[in-house]
Structure formats: structure tokens, C-alpha cells
Structure 1
Amino acid sequence: MLKAPEFWVAVAFVIFMALIWKKASAAIGSMLDARAEKIRAELDEAQRLREDAQATLAAYQKRQSDALKESEAIVAHAREEAARIRAQSTADLEAALKRREAQAMDRIAQAEAQAIAEVRNLTVDIAIAASRQLLSQGIQPAQADKLIDASIADLPRHLH
């Protein structure tokens, strides 16, 4: 058997295979280790990106919540301002109406005073006219009393 060339070819093949296997297994192991390290790095990167995405999502949700609260506060402030303006407008309108009513009452009082003055003037004019008539005709006192009574009774007709 030691003299058979097939034996030595088989021994050489086994040694050759052992050497190649040793180097190949080291190369394959290092390739697999590198591939595993690359996958591990990609997983770590994916985990970091996921955490960043969750942090960004939380930040955006917080911003949205803050914006919603701020918009609600703005709407509430606008409603309060509208109510205040409405109340102020109502108060201003009531004050303006009271001023106009007071002005109208003043005008009415002035018109009444003017009407009373006109009535007095008319009464004086009628009395003067009656006096002139009495003086010019030389009327008896009994007749003068009748004329004065008639003039006084006639006043309402002249006033209207």
C-alpha cells in the first residue's frame, strides 16, 4: 500500500484538501464575520433611524398638540373679544339712543316753550286789540266785560 501511487495521490489529496480547507475556512469565516458585522451595523443603523423617526413623530405630535391648544386659545380669545365688543357696542348704542332721546326731549321742551310764548303773544295781541276796540268805540263797562269774556272764550279757537 505504501508503494501504490494511488495511496500517495490520496494522501496528497487529503493534505491538499486539509490545507485548502484550513485557508478556505478561515477566508469563509472572515467573510461570514464581515457579513455578520455589516448586517449588525445595518440593524444598529435601522434601530437608530427608527428611534430618530419616533422622536421626530413625537416632536411633530407635540407641535400639533401645541398648535391645537394655541388655536383653541385664539378662538376662545376671539370669542371673548367679540362678546366684549358686542357689549361695548350695545352700551354705545344705548348711550347714543339716550342722547338722541334727550335731544328730542329738549327740542320738544323748546317747541312747547315757543308755543307757550306764541300763545302769550297772541293773548297779548288779542287783549291789545280788544282794548283798542274798547277805547276806540267808547264801550260801556258792561259791554267791555262781555267782549273780554268773548275774547277769552275765543282763545282756544285762535290757539289751534
Structure 2
Amino acid sequence: MEFFNPHLYDLSNAELWVAVGLIAFFVIVVLAGVPKLVAGQLDARAARIQSELDEAARLRAEAEALLAQIRQEKAEAEAQAAAMLEAAEADARVMEAEARAKLEETLKRRQDLAERRIAQAEVQATAEVKAAAADLAARAAEQILAARLAGQKTDPLLDDAIAQIGSRLN
């Protein structure tokens, strides 16, 4: 309780003058408006920080909206890619069916052509065999006739066979 000590209020006491100087300093500071200045600067700094926080919140909201839009576009792109893949697979199946039908048609045409060629070859071979048989029969008939003319003999069986050769060859 130094405050109640009478020696404290002696004008030669240095502690008294320090206390008076300190009180005068605080009065001058208050009268000069330093607390308002400090409070104004603190308020300005708080407002600046608040505006930076608001800007950060706005940027975050924009980023979240952009992220949502990108995710939606990604989902749409994936869906579009899946649809394109399905369409490509369907086109491939159609092309495969068309190719298979064309291949079967080509094979059938080639088979028909081969069968026609075989039939023509058979007809030609039959004609060649008939011609060879007719030629052989004509030579045999010529030899028989030559032998008959040489011997002037008539053989009724031979005459019937020669008569039948002409009808059998046709």
C-alpha cells in the first residue's frame, strides 16, 4: 500500500514524477485520438481480412461449381463414348452379317459355276465318247463290209447289227 504513503506525494520524489508523466502521456494519447486511430486501423485490417475471406469463399464456390460441371461433362463424355462404342459394335455386327451373306452368295455362285462346268464337261465327254464309239463302229462296219465284199457272203446277224448301230448311236 504504497499509495497511502505520505512520502510518495513529496515533490522531490522521482516516483511521483514518473507517475505524473505516465498519466500525462496517457491523457495526451487519449486526447490525440490514438485509440481511435488504432481502432480504425484494426477495423480496416479486419475489413481487409474479411474481404479476403469473402473472396476466398467466392473462389471456392466457383471452383466447386467448375468441378461439378467438369464431373458432369466427364459423365456425359463417358456416356457418349459408351454409346459410340455400342453403335460401333452394332455396326460391326451388321457389317459382319453383310460380309457373311456376301461370302455365302459368292460361294454359291462359284459352286453353281463349278456345277455348270462339270455338267458341260460331262456333256462334252459323253459327246466325245459317242463320237469315238460311232467312229469305232463305222470302222468296224467298214472292215466288215470290205470283208463281205471280198467274200461276197451275207450274214443276216451282221446285217441286223449294222442296221441297229445307226439307231443306237442317235
Higher RCO, 1 or 2 (CA under 8 Å, sep at least 6)?
Answer: 1
The answer for the alignment partner of 1:144 in structure 2 is: 158
Task: State the alpha-carbon separation in 2 of the partners of residues 97 and 52 from structure 1.
Answer: 66
Match of 1:90 in 2: 100
Q: Percent identity?
A: 37
Of residues 55, 63, 72, the one that matches 1:45 is 55
Counterparts of residues 7-156 of structure 1 (less than 5 Å): 14=23, 16-22=25-31, 23-138=33-148, 140-144=154-158
Residues 45, 131 of structure 1: alpha-carbon distance in 2 compared, 3 angstrom cutoff? same
Instruction: State the Cα deviation string for residues 63-111 of structure 1 (Å, max 9, x = none).
Output: 2112111211121111111111111110111011001101110111111
In structure 2, give the amino acid aligned to 1:34: A
Runs (4+) of structure 1 exceeding 4 A deviation are 4-13, 145-148
Quick check: which has more Rg, 1 or 2?
A: 2
Q: Which moved more, 1:126-135 or 1:111-120?
A: 126-135
Residue 21 of structure 1: how far off its partner (Å)? 2.5
Q: TM-score, normalised by structure 2?
A: 0.74
Number of aligned residues: 150
RMSD: 3.0
Residues in 2 aligned to 1:135 and 1:118: alpha-carbon distance in whole angstroms:
25
Unpaired stretches in structure 2, ≥5 consecutive residues: 1-9, 166-170
